[in-house]
Amino acid sequence: MDSPDFPVAAFDRRAWPIGGRLDYWTAPDGWPIRRYRLGSGARGRMLVMGGRGDMIEKYLEVIHHWAARGWAVTSFDWRGQGGSGRLTDDPLCGHIDDFANWIVDLNALAADWRAEGDGPTAMVAHSMGGHMLLRALAEGMPSPDAAAVVAPMLGVHSAPLPRWLAVAIARFMVGTGRGELPAWTQKEQSERQRRMRQKRLTHDPDRYADEIWWRDHSRDIALGPPSWNWVLQALDSTQALAQGDAIARIATPLLVLATKADQLVSTPAIVKVASRIASARLHIYGREAAHEILRELDPVRLDALHRIDAFLDEAAR
């Protein structure tokens, strides 16, 4: 006799999954980095990295997905954002003195993460996190068995300004002592302004609303625009990675997902860098996907998850 079909409860994106552990990992200089872990590890261990301005809460849905597939998932908030404190007196300004500081954090955190157990290892990173992961690998960080980068920040979308002018402005602002000030104003006071920002990130208004809900209910994790120094660091670091020789030495089996409609990072730069990594596979979505591919409407989001899962099943054994 066939078993009756019972409805499966939808994942609550505004609650922490049962069984997870939220704590703080201590960086080499003593800085507290907020960390979250979920999953048994029967399949292996996964490190998930968000992008600029992100917090762990935005990725609970995909963390839960990978934990359900048997991965022991670890995620964290980058120094200076989410629950990992701030680096200026303005709690809404996303600042960093030097991207190299994040590389130091990532190397140390990944070393401790590797020491937690055996089995296959995978890293998945979005946007700025994708840049940090590829830069760390290019600079010699021990490789996981496989990695996936989603809309990686390998070039900054500076339009309507040409890149040279964006660099000149950022360098001027930093040089005149304004490096810790917000580079722009993030306007979300009106419904129209929220809709404009949402469309740059995702076509899914509900998942965008989840981010706003978490920010409203946990004001200490909220973050606004980046500082001028962050902008200059992003422009310089992406160019150095794209034009340097080290990127071609990455041997990690790598899946790269991007979208032609991205308004935050440069898709041509992603294509160019991916072509220099012999082990990379590239898939580019069309207008159906905005920047936050893993937080898109389900047809895109589930396709991306399927591609990542199939790739990891093949490459991380």
Tens-digit pLDDT profile for residues 198-238: 999 999 999 999 999 999 999 899 999 999 999 999 999 99
What are the tens digits of pLDDT across the range 62-74? Answer: 999 999 999 999 9
| Domain containing residue 221: CATH number | 3.40.50.1820
**10 inside domain:** no
**8 inside domain:** no
> Is pLDDT at 185 greater than 70 in this prediction?
yes
Q: What is the pLDDT of residue 229?
A: 98
Q: What is the pLDDT of residue 193?
A: 84
- Number of structural domains, the chain? 1
**219 inside domain:** yes
What are the tens digits of pLDDT across the range 195-208? Answer: 899 999 999 999 99
For 230, the domain range is 21-315
What are the tens digits of pLDDT across the range 10-51? Answer: 899 999 999 999 999 999 999 999 999 999 999 999 999 999
Q: What is the pLDDT of residue 119?
A: 95
Q: What is the pLDDT of residue 3?
A: 46
How large is the average pLDDT for residues 89-105?
97
**48 inside domain:** yes
Q: What is the pLDDT of residue 30?
A: 98
How large is the average pLDDT for residues 77-104?
97
> Is pLDDT at 2 greater than 50 in this prediction?
no
**6 inside domain:** no
Backbone angles phi, psi at 281, to 5 degrees: -115, 140
Residue closest to 152 by CA, chosen among 111, 123, 195, 174: 123
What are the tens digits of pLDDT across the range 108-152? Answer: 999 999 999 899 999 999 999 999 999 999 999 999 999 999 999
Q: What is the pLDDT of residue 192?
A: 84
